[in-house]
Structure formats: structure tokens, C-alpha cells
Chain A
Amino acid sequence: NAGVTQTPKFQVLKTGQSMTLQCAQDMNHEYMSWYRQDPGMGLRLIHYSVGAGITDQGEVPNGYNVSRSTTEDFPLRLLSAAPSQTSVYFCASSYSRGEGYNEQFFGPGTRLTVL
């Protein structure tokens, strides 16, 4: 299994440009999520999905859209990039191990710079 894959690894955008960060998992996990990580801020939840066709907002959803048409893919779209969206973006998928325990797997991240 490849686990959770993210593309691209690095991206530079100009203010106002749009782009899509790709995320895919081959573990048939039901739950997927997007986080951003800024220095000293930890990881903040952007959007999440509890299954194909179901998405919801996290803590910092403004400026981002998501969709979940398949179990495997969960792309994150930046509609009009702003310098405040300069960050490292992590995608994750998770499954239940039973008895209320859950394990989450993270991708390697996409480092985005908005000029």
C-alpha cells in the first residue's frame, strides 16, 4: 500500500491564483481530513469527510473548498490564493480499530508559498 499520498510536494502561487492540492489513500479508510501547519501553531483542521459524498468544515475553512466523490480521493481547492495561506498542508485518513480506538495516517505534506 502507498498509504496517503499528496501532490505536489512544493508549490508557489501568486496572489489570486487558484489551485488544487491532491490527496489519495489506498487503505479504504472512511475518514479523511485536511490540516494546515504554521510555525508555532500546531495543526489546524480545515475540512474533513466522514465518507464519500459527505464533507464538513473544520476550524479554519475560509478560502478552501473540498469534495469527496470517491473513498480514495479528497482534493483541497484554493479558490483565490492569499499570502495568509502560505503554510504546510497535510492530508490524513483514519479508520476505527474497534472499542472506540481510531488510528490516523498522514501524508508527507505540501509546502505552499503564496507571493
Chain B
Amino acid sequence: GESVGLHLPTLSVQEGDNSIINCAYSNSASDYFIWYKQESGKGPQFIIDIRSNMDKRQGQRVTVLLNKTVKHLSLQIAATQPGDSAVYFCAENRGLRGSYIPTFGRGTSLIVHP
């Protein structure tokens, strides 16, 4: 079964609002997590990542929060714009053969209304 999953399949927000996309993971040994954005007809695109020795990491308009106690991470998008409409995936890096090959959850579709 999947070790990375998302709470909500679809999230609708108004332009300018903040968006929060949630993700749960089950492997307590996971030490690295990544968020990806996938626009329609394209491959996933890296947004932001975080290692398990941190609980928060910020990028441009995006913040990832990690709660290891409950095995939960979230992606916060500030001042959401129509261009943010996409499917967002959280991924867990299992360190296969010492490498970094992510395992993906099912994704959340973010719809931004103008």
C-alpha cells in the first residue's frame, strides 16, 4: 500500500487567499519530503523540500511544515494566484540503494477561482 497519502483530493480557493494542502505519511523512518506541482499535460515540477531535522522551510510564497509526531506535512501557498491551479503531490524519499527516488501520494487538485 501507499505510505504517502493526501487528506483532500480537491481544494477550491479564491484568488488572493492562502491555500493549505495536507499530506500524511506512514513510514516514521522517512527523512526527506518533497512537494511537486503538476500542471495539466506536463510532468511534475519541484516546488520545495524539507528534511526531517527541520519542521519548517520557506520558499517564495510557499512554506512546508513537517510534524514528525503525527507524521504529517503541509504545503502553504500565500496569496494564491490562478497560475497556482494544478495538482500538488507530496513525495517521500525512501533512499532506495542510498539514492533519492521519491514515492508519490495520490495528489490534491488545487482550483483557484478569480
- By the criterion of a CB under 8 Å from any partner CB, how many residues of chain B are at the interface? 27
B12-20, B40-48, B64-72, B76-84: which lies at the A interface? B40-48
Please state if A56 and B97 are interface contacts (CB–CB under 8 Å).
Answer: yes
Please state if A40 and B106 are interface contacts (CB–CB under 8 Å).
Answer: yes
Using Cβ atoms and an 8 Å threshold, which residues of chain A touch B103?
A: 45, 59
Please state if B34 and A104 are interface contacts (CB–CB under 8 Å).
Answer: yes
In the assembled complex, the CB of B47 is this many whole angstroms from the nearest CB of chain A, namely 11
Contact of A42 among B34, B46, B93, B107 (CB under 8 A): B107
Please state if A43 and B101 are interface contacts (CB–CB under 8 Å).
Answer: no
A-B pairs, top 6 by smallest CB distance, nearest first, are A106-B43, A102-B100, A43-B104, A42-B106, A50-B99, A42-B104
CA distance A58 to B104 in the complex (A): 12
CA distance A102 to B101 in the complex (A): 9
Assess whether A94 is interfacial by the CB under 8 Å rule: yes
**What total count of A-B pairs have CB within 8 Å?**
69
CA distance A30 to B97 in the complex (A): 13
Assess whether A74 is interfacial by the CB under 8 Å rule: no
Please state if A56 and B96 are interface contacts (CB–CB under 8 Å).
Answer: yes
Instruction: Given the known inter-chain contacts A43-B89, A45-B101, A56-B96, please indicate yes or no for A106 contacting B44, CB distance below 8 A.
Output: yes
Using Cβ atoms and an 8 Å threshold, which residues of chain A touch B114?
A: none
